[in-house]
Structure 1
Amino acid sequence: MRRDPRTYLWDALRAVELLAEFSSGKTFADYEADAMLRSAVERQFEIVGEALNNLSKVSPYLAASMPDLPRVVASATS
């Protein structure tokens, strides 16, 4: 059974919200020094990539309306 495309959008949105929360008030030096922060941030980027990649499979029409989607997915999943 295919998931509703909105679910993938919600997953990506939630991951971006968490990225903002995790990085709020942090510097790059904080990021480099904190393995847990790095892991959390990197995982959320993976979730964004996975969600948008799956969106492109279940709803190519919707994915086509996002011109930077292939670049975002390639960056987040590589």
Structure 2
Amino acid sequence: MTEQAKKYLSDMLNAIDLVNQFSKDTPDFGSYQADLKTKSAVERQLVILGEAVNKYSKAAPESPLNNIPQIVSFRNRLAHNYDEVDDTIVWAVLKKHLPALRQEVINLLKE
């Protein structure tokens, strides 16, 4: 793996960890939805995460990273359709998808 690809993986891990840090005091969807500062910070890190995934996919096209098209598409929706962001989808990504992606990134960094 190239150093550039490793950098993008590190950027992904950093963004995921920041999302977790920013959302740690929002235990449920209602509190997340009511906290505009947390929502803004989380969405920004998800955009960074998606951009890092996109760049990584070009730097390491043979990578086994899962769901690249879906992650990049989600990033594009957050960045370009900001007025149509569905908080329930963002919350689901935080709770259902980020933990697995984090582990996947850690495993790739160990290679």
Shift of 1:76: 2.2
Shift of 1:33: 1.7
Q: Which residues of 2 match residues 8-47 of structure 1 at below 5 A?
A: 8-26=8-26, 27-47=28-48
Under a length normalisation based on structure 2, what TM-score does the superposition of the two structures give? 0.60
Q: How many angstroms apart in 2 are the aligned matches of 1:45 and 1:67?
A: 16
Match of 1:68 in 2: 67
3-state SS, counterpart of residue 4 of structure 1? helix
Shift of 1:46: 0.3
Question: Residue type matched to 2:37 in 1?
Answer: M
Question: Residue type matched to 2:71 in 1?
Answer: V
**Unmatched tracts of structure 1, length 5 or more:** none
Shift of 1:11: 0.5
Moved over 4 A (4+): none
Shift of 1:56: 1.1
User: Among the aligned pairs, what percent are the same residue?
Assistant: 38
Q: How many angstroms apart in 1 are the aligned matches of 2:32 and 2:47?
A: 17
Under a length normalisation based on structure 1, what TM-score does the superposition of the two structures give? 0.82
Question: Residue type matched to 2:55 in 1?
Answer: N
RMSD of equivalent CA atoms: 1.5
3-state SS, counterpart of residue 36 of structure 1? helix
